Structure 1
Amino acid sequence: MIKENKRILMITSLIILLPVLVGLLLWHQLPEQIPVHFNSEGVADSYQSKLWGVTFIYLVIFACHWFAAIITSVDPRRRNISSKIYRLVLWICPVISVFVGVTIYGTALNWPWVNINFMANLLLGVIFIVIGNYLPKCRQNYTIGIKLPWTLSDTENWDRTHRFAGKIWMLCGVLEIIVGFLPIAQFEIVTIALILLATIPVAVYSYLLYRKKMG
């Protein structure tokens, strides 16, 4: 799969490393200590050196990107993974890298339009919606999807679970985006609640299908 998608893999890899180039161009404007973590109110509460903030974070994301690409390509059921879904996997880390770059550099340089909470909710919401749209199209494999003992052992359970999960994830995505527009201080709690909503009902639904079939 890597060979067939090497062009996209190269493009996405370069996008992941783009914030490194931007950081080097902004090097003399950036403070010696760069914010790398933010509390529930979007205020920076942890700092690292400028070198760490400009390079290390994106190298970690780069490594995760290639790990995901390789693991997916060697899946024993990789023939069930469509090219569209594989490309979706390849675009997740680049989007995260750009988001991290904008939030970290924007906060360090006091860009007035950078709103951490709003941007985080918007990003999570879009990810939920996009993944939710693709879940029903995801065929049985060991890498991508709702991987439970009963979904991996039963194609019908897999398909029905992913159709149900797609609806739940898209709903959670819409709610996540709406949260970004609301004056909610502890938005992390809401986000955790939505993640639980996107996972627990799906697992329960899948298990009930399994129990029903087993009689």
Structure 2
Amino acid sequence: MKKYILLIISLINIAVTGVFIAFNPNEELPSHYNVNGIADAYSSKWMLLFIPSILVLFSIIYAIYAKVKENDENYKSYRKYAVRCIVSMFAFLFLFFWMLIALVLQNKVNIDNLFLPLTCIFMGCMFVYLFNLMPKIKQNSLLGIRTNATLSSKSVWKKVHRFAAYFGVICGIAVIILGIISLFIINISNVLFFISIIILLLSAIVPAIYGEIIYSKERTSNNYIE
């Protein structure tokens, strides 16, 4: 039953969204915003249902995966953390989508002053939570920094994920701070959002590079001993 909770929530969510859309007096609402947060395309208000339908699809994929893997012993070893990661991503998407839906339902022509700053804050919070889980995740093929180096050596896996936890949390906090700053300095929100994306990419790339370096040293050391 637990594996279907997210699906149930997402179905209720799409129904609630439909109610809000039905009572909205506008027949057409913004369907696209440019890089400056300005509405540049409009369509039927019912197209807004596409947004919560993404959560339904996300939940169905998770439910199928959980069902297929429920008797897999390897999956059982990291299931608790897999569920936490999935739930945190679901929560982020839920908040992100409702922020967008709320802005669109108000027929906002310009969403730049709120959309990008709040997106940064939500993403930063999610990354802080996810990277906090890193040191607790055992070697597996689904979660974590999965490279040839980390999957080939348990010691490299532990070192990389310990480092990734510290580095990722710092990156997440930095993105939250940038989001807060852009709430007050609107004219640079695009630049700060771009910087935030780079920081979040680095939170995954740097630990992967670190893993390759220590794995190379480990192999060199083992060859020297032999």
Normalising by structure 2, what TM-score? 0.79
Deviation at 1:47, TM superposition (A): 4.3
Checking the alignment, whether the CA contact within 8 Å between 1:16 and 1:61 is kept in structure 2 is yes
Normalising by structure 1, what TM-score? 0.82
Checking the alignment, whether the CA contact within 8 Å between 1:132 and 1:166 is kept in structure 2 is yes
Q: Distance in 2 between matches of 1:66 and 1:127?
A: 21
Checking the alignment, whether the CA contact within 8 Å between 2:32 and 2:40 is kept in structure 1 is yes
Per-residue CA distance 1:5-49 (angstroms, 9 max, x = gap)? x33x33322332343222222213153333354444444445443
The equivalent residue for 2:157 is 158
Q: Percent identity?
A: 26
The AA in structure 1 aligned to 2:47 is W
The equivalent residue for 1:64 is 58
Q: Distance in 1 between matches of 2:149 and 2:64?
A: 25
The equivalent residue for 2:86 is 89
The AA in structure 2 aligned to 1:81 is Y
Question: For the structure 1 residues 34 and 110, does the alpha-carbon distance in structure 2 shift closer, same or farther, using more than 3 Å as the test?
Answer: closer
What root-mean-square deviation, in Å, do the aligned CA atoms of Structure 1 and Structure 2 show?
2.7
Checking the alignment, whether the CA contact within 8 Å between 1:164 and 1:202 is kept in structure 2 is yes
Matches within 5 A, 1:54-203: 54=49, 56-71=50-65, 74=69, 77-109=74-106, 115-182=114-181, 183=185, 184-186=188-190, 187-203=192-208
Question: For the structure 1 residues 118 and 151, does the alpha-carbon distance in structure 2 shift closer, same or farther, using more than 3 Å as the test?
Answer: same
The structure with the larger Rg is 2
Deviates more, 1:68-77 or 1:203-212: 68-77
Deviation at 1:204, TM superposition (A): 1.0
The equivalent residue for 2:215 is 210
Q: Distance in 2 between matches of 1:16 and 1:63?
A: 9
Aligned residue pair count: 208
Deviation at 1:173, TM superposition (A): 0.9
Per-residue CA distance 1:130-149 (angstroms, 9 max, x = gap)? 00110111111111111101
Question: For the structure 1 residues 185 and 94, does the alpha-carbon distance in structure 2 shift closer, same or farther, using more than 3 Å as the test?
Answer: closer
Asked which structure has the greater RCO (Cα within 8 Å, sep 6+), the reply is 1
Q: Which runs of 5+ in 2 are unaligned?
A: 221-226
The AA in structure 1 aligned to 2:28 is Q
Question: For the structure 1 residues 154 and 87, does the alpha-carbon distance in structure 2 shift closer, same or farther, using more than 3 Å as the test?
Answer: same
2:47 maps to 1:52: yes
Question: For the structure 1 residues 152 and 33, does the alpha-carbon distance in structure 2 shift closer, same or farther, using more than 3 Å as the test?
Answer: farther
Question: For the structure 1 residues 15 and 91, does the alpha-carbon distance in structure 2 shift closer, same or farther, using more than 3 Å as the test?
Answer: farther
The AA in structure 2 aligned to 1:179 is L
Deviation at 1:209, TM superposition (A): 0.9
Q: Distance in 2 between matches of 1:162 and 1:104?
A: 36
